[in-house]
Amino acid sequence: MSITVPDQTDQPGRSRQWRRANFVAGLSILSVVVATAILSFFWTPFDPTRVDSSKPLLSMGQQGHLLGTDQFGRDLLSQIMVGSQTALFVGILAVSIAIVIGIPIGGFAAAHRGLVEDVVMRISDVIYAFPPVLLAILLVAAVSPGTGSAMIAIGIAYIPIVARVTRGASLSIFERDFVAAARSYGRGQTFIFFRHVLPNILSVLIVQMTVLFSLAILAEAALSFLGIGTQPPTPSWGRSLRDAQTFVQLTPRLAIWPGLAIALTVLGFNLLGDGVRDALDPKLEVDRL
Amino acid sequence: MYVVRRVGVFLVSLLTASILVFVVMSILPGDPARVILGTQATPEAVESLREELGLNRSLPTQYLDWLSHAVRGDLGESVFTGQAIGPQVANRLKITAPLALMALTFTVLLSFPLGVFAAARHRQAGDNIVSVISQLGLAIPAFWAGLMLVTLFAVRLRWFPAGGFPGWGDSFFGSLKALLLPALSLAIVQSAIITRYVRSAVLETLREDYIRTARSKGLTRSQALWRHGLRNAAIPVLTILGLQFAALLSGTVVIESVFVLPGLGRMLLDGITRRDLPLVQGGAFVIVAFILLINLIVDLTYRLLDPRVGAR
């Protein structure tokens, strides 16, 4: 089975300035998202979970509700603000799970060529064949719906991706002279991996992490949209879209704003990833014709 | 020789996948026997049904039993409706498979022209515009694209139905029409990914010697690209397309919810909410089996299209 690592040598976004612009744009977008998440811990225009039957479906700007209210009279802007906490939280935890488990597995496979490697990679191949969202759906169903299980499920689903990328990048490093030197020194494989190999593949992994972060946010949104992710009353963008679905014919506004929040955050991470790739690995700047 | 080995890998993967699905499903809380009988049932009744369903046997025995039936196409019965799962899955596939194929077609139709265009305009304004479009497409959740398409084309313009499925037998074109918006929502996101691959594959081939030879023969850049570049560029893209089919299939699970399509994804979700273990197990296994099969086909066609791979 062939490996799909997102194409890393020839991404659109060519000149150095263009990439720097990507990086700055990504960073700016994410600063806004993170600032919003932090702000929403202390202040939101209205209580995001307060149901007020006297003012359902207010349109934008009515009674001080900047983005209006949903069918339960909850303030949409406040919900989206608090939703950013959920999105970032899920991203951080899912990616952490994936790298904490995936990196050692990938490193182990790269360090021990032969049968061990074959077995590890074959298993990872099979998990890899499960689309992450499908695997997450099964895992969430197996435990119970909620933000916590969604994020663990997403993290587990991404372990094979991290393991593959780690192994792929480590293989050539393990062949290098300084690794042979360390080995002749009597260092063990584990030590060599963490001390000598890992620092050399860090740039690849960091880029991979930004990609996974945005994938995790999209996955959480999808799970919550299906009703098996974040449960009410905890605000989540995907959940808001689920609630909006019934009223989408009447008030598309309810679906537009949470969707834009998702798209903007994901865009931010993707742009940041492209920029980081360039900053950490100038060698990739070979895309000239 | 390669073909035999590759098919062997496929079979082993299939087996591992079935074990994986079985293990995940066996940690699912809730006793199928109790689900069938309801909360009023006496412990004795539950126990005797467990015996009848074979639930009190060890997990490996249960798995082997399930497997021996599955290889004969028998995926068991739904604990909720009592219907056989195999025919049910086949029925649902009549919606999900065309949906996925349609989405794949749209993806190709959108991404190939865009990618080739971007590569031909390398480092020019057109390239940058395509890159911005694909960057935006990557950021959009497919189900949100679906909601927006519904708002625009079903609610405002009333060109397409907002959801539901008439059935192939009742209305062929109506059914086709019902799948159009869902397929398009999936294709928007997919083509954002594929466009990038098409672009870099074309750029890659433009660097090849045979393109230079063609140019030196007097062909213009675009002539050389059309006559010699595209066919070669298509090969790596085909692999990615095959692998992305997995993402497409899982996308259908979500998109079927947006458009209320009674496909395989809906079945899976309904199965999960009803704690219908054999149904979820069968459905998930079929989806993964499909993905593995497509990966197999892609790997084998790759050899046919590019003899150099086999020679290596």
pLDDT in tens, B36-46: 666 677 777 77
DSSP structural state of residue A2: -
User: Is the CB of B139 less than 8 angstroms away from the CB of A270?
Assistant: yes
CATH number at residue B131: 1.10.3720.10
Q: Is B162 on the interface with A (CB under 8 A)?
A: yes
Task: pLDDT tens for chain B, 312 residues: list them.
Answer: 778 888 888 888 888 888 888 887 776 666 666 666 666 777 777 777 777 666 777 778 888 888 888 777 777 777 777 788 888 888 888 899 899 999 999 999 999 899 888 888 887 888 888 888 888 888 999 899 988 888 888 777 777 777 777 777 788 888 888 888 999 999 998 899 889 888 888 888 888 888 888 888 888 777 787 777 777 787 778 878 887 887 788 888 889 988 888 888 888 888 887 877 788 888 888 888 888 888 888 878 777 777 666 554
Give me the phi and psi of B77, to 5 degrees please: -120, 150
**The domain containing residue B197 runs over which residues?**
85-305
- Residue A101 has a pLDDT of 93
Position B241 in a domain? yes
Position B177 in a domain? yes
Under 8 Å between Cβ of B171 and B181: no
Cβ-Cβ pairs closer than 8 A, A with B, add up to: 169
Q: Which of A126, A214, A225 sits opposite B254 (nearest CB)?
A: A225
Kindly write down the DSSP assignment for every residue of A62-78, as one continuous string.
Answer: GGG-TT-B-TT--BHHH
Query: Is CATH 1.10.3720.10 what the domain over A80-288 is classified as, yes or no?
Result: yes
CB contacts under 8 A, B 193-212 vs A, are 196-197, 199-200, 203-204, 206-207
Average pLDDT of A111-126? Answer: 78
- Residue A11 has a pLDDT of 47
Under 8 Å between Cβ of B224 and B211: yes
pLDDT in tens, B6-35: 888 888 888 888 888 888 777 666 666 666
Under 8 Å between Cβ of A108 and A120: yes
CB contacts under 8 A, B 285-304 vs A, are 287-288, 291-292, 295, 298-299, 302
Cβ atoms within 10 Å, residue A96: 13
- Give CA–CA dist A174/A242, Å, rounded: 48
CB contacts under 8 A, B 71-110 vs A, are none
Closest CA to B64 of B32, B22, B28, B33: B22
Which single residue is written with the structure tokens 């998202």?
A33
User: Is the CB of A14 less than 8 angstroms away from the CB of B127?
Assistant: yes
Residue scoring higher pLDDT (A201 or B157): A201
- Residue B29 has a pLDDT of 60
Identify the closest residue of chain B to A217 by CA–CA distance.
Answer: B141
- Give CA–CA dist B259/B185, Å, rounded: 11
Position B221 in a domain? yes
Position B23 in a domain? no
Q: Is B24 on the interface with A (CB under 8 A)?
A: yes
Beta partners for A75? A69
- Residue A104 has a pLDDT of 92
Tell me the nearest-neighbour CA distance from A176 into chain B, angstroms: 25
- Residue B309 has a pLDDT of 61
Give the pTM: 0.85
Cβ atoms within 10 Å, residue B209: 7
- Give CA–CA dist B117/B128, Å, rounded: 11
Q: How far, in Å, are B88, B177, B183 from residue B98 at the CA level?
A: 16, 12, 9
- Give CA–CA dist A146/B99, Å, rounded: 29
Q: Is B188 on the interface with A (CB under 8 A)?
A: no
User: Is the CB of A226 less than 8 angstroms away from the CB of B269?
Assistant: yes
The two structure tokens encoding residue B89: 């899955």
- Residue B232 has a pLDDT of 79
- The residue type of B38 is G
Q: Is the pLDDT of residue A265 over 90?
A: yes
Position B226 in a domain? yes
- Give CA–CA dist A118/A281, Å, rounded: 30
Give me the phi and psi of A94, to 5 degrees please: -65, -45
Q: Is the pLDDT of residue A4 over 70?
A: no
User: Is the CB of B139 less than 8 angstroms away from the CB of A266?
Assistant: yes
The total domain count for chain B is 1
Confidence category of residue A263, pLDDT binned at 50, 70, 90: very high
- Residue A1 has a pLDDT of 34
**Any residues with CB less than 8 A from the CB of A89 and at least 6 apart, and which?**
A147, A151
pLDDT in tens, A130-149: 777 788 787 777 777 788 88
- Give CA–CA dist B268/B288, Å, rounded: 13
